[in-house]
Amino acid sequence: MKNLLFSRFFLILYIRGYYFLRNIFKSHKKVTSSNKDDLQLDMENIPKHIAIIMDGNGRWAKAKNLPRALGHKAGVETIRRIIREGDRLGVKYMTLYAFSTENWKRPKDEVSTLMKLLVQYLKEEISELHDKGVVINVLGDSSRLPKDCIDEIQKAKEITKNNTGIIMNVALNYGGRDEIIRATRAIAEMVALGKIKPSDIDNEIFENHLYTKGMPDPDIIIRPSGEQRLSNFLLWQCAYSEFWYSNINWPDFTEEDLRRAIYDFQNRDRRFGAIKD
């Protein structure tokens, strides 16, 4: 009887010891990029501004033998999910590159599909976006867009202008170089009118003439689809942005991919040109 009690005692001790040590090793295990289930986001360090180059819609469609238009349509579905997830995580600004100043070079019917998708998206989503407190904003020169686009954008901006939730910047007919040239012209005009001296021109004055006036620079720029270039996106604003690339095409980009990008961002060492001790 005594022996039985002893062996039970040691068996329990052994099992407890095993789980105790296992938990210690588990809590020290480094979370690696392949370790998706273990992603632990630091909710105190969620990037304020995430900018996304929504690339790979065409390749996604091609791989499925579908017309490119369906790739863009699927891309819009991803926008819906990613805005929701960004908002849930507490991201303050999300900037989506929807149409660049260079995209006018695409076939007419593709340009028209993209414009129609934008109108459809705004019409279908505006009430949910408004309910969620999203603010719709456009970066770029929207005056060249079709009239129904301009009208829908105006309506969406007006409806959501007093909201206090996530700011959704849609970059439309946007180009970083074009933005810089416009700012330079406007500032040169002020100098010519004697309102400021050339020596007054500084970061603040310059930033006040950009489409992103009053917004923080993007903390992270995400580009799916395997391309690793900036394509004329937020050239001024990306000075200290972290870049995050992945091979996933935009229609396949998931909420988990967004969390992965944020997780990787939180593990980068941002020094902004300074030295850390």
Contact residues for ligand FPP (CB under 6 A)?
54-59, 72, 75-76, 79, 96, 98, 103, 114, 117-118, 121, 170, 225
**Minimum CB–partner distance for residue 69 and ligand FPP (Å):** 10
Question: Could you identify the residue written with the tokens 């999910």?
Answer: 81
Nearer Cβ to ligand FPP (231/266)? 231
DSSP the chain: -HHHHHHHHHHHHHHHHHHHHHHHHHHHPPPPTT-GGG----GGG--SEEEEE---HHHHHHHTT--HHHHHHHHHHHHHHHHHHHHHHT--EEEEEEEETTGGGS-HHHHHHHHHHHHHHHHHHHHHHHHTT-EEEEES-GGGS-HHHHHHHHHHHHHHTT--S-EEEEEEEE-HHHHHHHHHHHHHHHHHTTSS-GGG--HHHHHTTSTTTTSPPPSEEEE-TT----TTSSTTTTTTPEEEE-SS-GGG--HHHHHHHHHHHHTS---TTS---
**Minimum CB–partner distance for residue 15 and ligand FPP (Å):** 54
Nearer Cβ to ligand FPP (100/237)? 100
Which residue, judged by CB position, is nearest to ligand FPP in the bound state?
58
Nearer Cβ to ligand FPP (141/207)? 141
Nearer Cβ to ligand FPP (112/208)? 112
Could you give the residue numbers annotated as active site?
55, 103
**Minimum CB–partner distance for residue 27 and ligand FPP (Å):** 41
**Minimum CB–partner distance for residue 79 and ligand FPP (Å):** 6
Name the maximum alpha-carbon separation found in the chain.
Answer: 102
**Minimum CB–partner distance for residue 227 and ligand FPP (Å):** 7
Contacts of residue 167, Cβ cutoff 8 Å, sequence gap at least 6: 92, 93, 94, 134, 135, 137, 215
Nearer Cβ to ligand FPP (169/237)? 169
**Minimum CB–partner distance for residue 209 and ligand FPP (Å):** 24
Nearer Cβ to ligand FPP (111/205)? 111
